């Protein structure tokens, strides 16, 4: 009955917001991206791969870039462990879709359907999955209910309930309890996440604290940007500001002169989180007093033919998939989404390279990881007012920055192993479906 009211509310919300969605769809390409798939049309490439060999299917859903990166090793391990299965991956965002297609192959990647009964049923009929694996907090009532009605086991990996979403989940506990109690396995990131999931209805005997899959993600190859920077920034120190959101670039540029006072031989690498903001950030840089260059303007020719970077210059990293590798060159890194109330982004990408980390005070999305880094003095948290001085201190004291980075690397290495713990739970569930 509660699911009926949920669907009634969904339809009412759709009707009320339909004019706005129609306008956004007509005016913004990213709203049209994958729209048919989201509404339940299974793409031909996926249908063809499903039919090839008629192999049993595992469906894994990872909402965006961070989740795709987090499950990337898990996907590899499942491919290796279950060659007689076909693993399909869905995402919600366009950036997550692009990364998933690049990493896993376009023919088995698709946009996750909206949580509408007919859209969900369309994919379940086409794929007939033996198991559904959801990453982090991607819990959708109709998707879960449709799987349970078809007796498809569902596992949630890298599960978390953020501080921001916890009150909303509590308000809808009557909806979640009958659904979450039917989950076959839940692998929580932290004890806090586990307690919240149990409070919402997850069965304690089917829940395990497995750690964070993101500790197992390591950047294996250097990006082209990294290779070029090694040659174009000789004798310069890089400050890498990654995954920045609107408003943060202005704050960083305001602090930039203070850092240059501490060491004039710096270059700022600025990497906005969302590609659609690259042009806006470029316009802001054009209006600033600082020399700057776009990574996308570097043509495909040898590094010796390019102009070297100069002290005080800003490099706009307006490409996708290169930031993680570029962190390896940083004297220290700033992690975006943390000076504005957006919950922060992943500090583990620089930590794996032994790079010191600075973040703002808004980091609820990664509280467990950051609390661990703070406990080992491997990260500095700075409000906007202290940002310039906090970063300048690390510029003036490279030995301390190096020591911070080493402590961050130690935390990263020590916490690894979540993928194997996850596989120990998921493997038997898949094997049971063979029989």
Is 67 assigned a catalytic role? Answer: yes
d(CA 188, CA 160): 6
Helix (H) or strand (E) holding 420: helix 418-434
DSSP state of 146: H
Contact assessment for residue 273 and residue 245, using Cβ atoms and an 8 Å cutoff: yes
Tokens linked to 280? 């806006």
DSSP H helices, 190-309, are: 191-200, 224-232, 248-262, 278-286
d(CA 8, CA 422): 36
Give phi and psi for 336, each to the nearest 5: -75, 180
Parallel, antiparallel, or unpaired for β 237-244 and 330-335? parallel
d(CA 121, CA 140): 13
Contacts with 399 (C-beta within 8 Å, 6 or more apart), sequence order? none
Return the closest-CA partner of residue 42 out of 137, 110, 94, 134.
110
Q: State the number of CA atoms in the 13 A half-sphere of 316 facing the CB.
A: 23
Q: Could you say which of 41, 51, 67, 77 is catalytic?
A: 67
The burial class, CB within 10 Å (0-12 / 13-18 / 19+), for 11 is: exposed
Q: State the number of CA atoms in the 13 A half-sphere of 4 facing the CB.
A: 1
Q: For tokens 């339809």, what's the residue?
A: 11
SS3 content of the chain, % helix, strand, coil (to 5): 55, 15, 30
Return the closest-CA partner of residue 388 out of 263, 292, 252, 264.
252
Return the closest-CA partner of residue 130 out of 420, 425, 424, 429.
429
Catalytic residues: 67
């Amino acid at each position: 009955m509660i699911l009926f009211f949920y669907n009634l509310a969904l339809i009412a919300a759709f009707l009320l917001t339909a004019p706005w969605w129609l306008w956004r769809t007509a005016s913004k390409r990213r709203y049209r991206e994958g729209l048919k798939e989201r509404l339940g049309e299974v793409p031909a490439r996926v249908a063809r791969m499903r039919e090839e060999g008629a192999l049993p299917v595992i469906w894994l859903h990872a909402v965006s870039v961070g989740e795709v990166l987090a499950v990337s090793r898990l996907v590899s391990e499942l491919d290796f462990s279950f060659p007689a299965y076909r693993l399909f991956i869905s995402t919600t965002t366009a950036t997550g879709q692009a990364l998933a297609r690049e990493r896993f192959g376009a023919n088995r990647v698709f946009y996750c359907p909206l949580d509408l009964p007919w859209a969900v049923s369309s994919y379940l009929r086409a794929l007939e999955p033996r198991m559904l694996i959801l990453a982090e907090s991607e819990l959708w009532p109709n998707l879960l209910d449709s799987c349970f009605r078809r007796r498809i086991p569902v596992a949630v990996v890298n599960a978390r309930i953020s501080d921001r979403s916890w009150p909303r989940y509590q308000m809808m506990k009557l909806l979640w309890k009958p659904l979450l109690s039917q989950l076959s396995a839940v692998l929580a990131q932290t004890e806090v996440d586990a307690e919240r999931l149990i409070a919402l209805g997850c069965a304690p005997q089917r829940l395990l604290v497995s750690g964070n899959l993101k500790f197992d993600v390591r950047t294996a190859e250097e990006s082209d940007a990294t290779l070029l920077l090694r040659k174009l920034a000789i004798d310069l120190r890089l400050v890498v500001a990654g995954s920045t959101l609107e408003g943060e670039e202005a704050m960083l540029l305001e602090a930039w002169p203070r850092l240059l006072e501490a060491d004039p031989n710096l270059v700022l690498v600025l990497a906005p989180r969302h590609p659609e903001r690259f042009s806006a950030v470029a316009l802001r840089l054009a209006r600033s007093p600082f020399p700057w260059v776009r990574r996308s303007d570097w043509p495909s020719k040898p590094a010796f033919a390019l102009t070297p970077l100069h002290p005080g210059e800003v490099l706009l990293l307006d490409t996708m998939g290169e930031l993680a590798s570029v962190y390896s060159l940083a004297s220290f890194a700033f992690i975006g989404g943390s000076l504005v109330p957006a919950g922060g982004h992943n500090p583990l990408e620089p930590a794996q390279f032994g790079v010191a980390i600075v973040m703002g005070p808004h980091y609820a999305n990664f509280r467990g990881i950051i609390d661990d880094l703070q406990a080992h003095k491997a990260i500095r948290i700075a409000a906007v007012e202290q940002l310039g001085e906090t970063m300048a201190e690390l510029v003036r004291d490279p030995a301390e920055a190096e020591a911070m980075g080493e402590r961050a690397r130690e935390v990263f290495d020590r916490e690894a192993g979540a993928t194997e713990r996850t596989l120990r739970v998921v493997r038997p569930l898949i094997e049971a479906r063979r029989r």
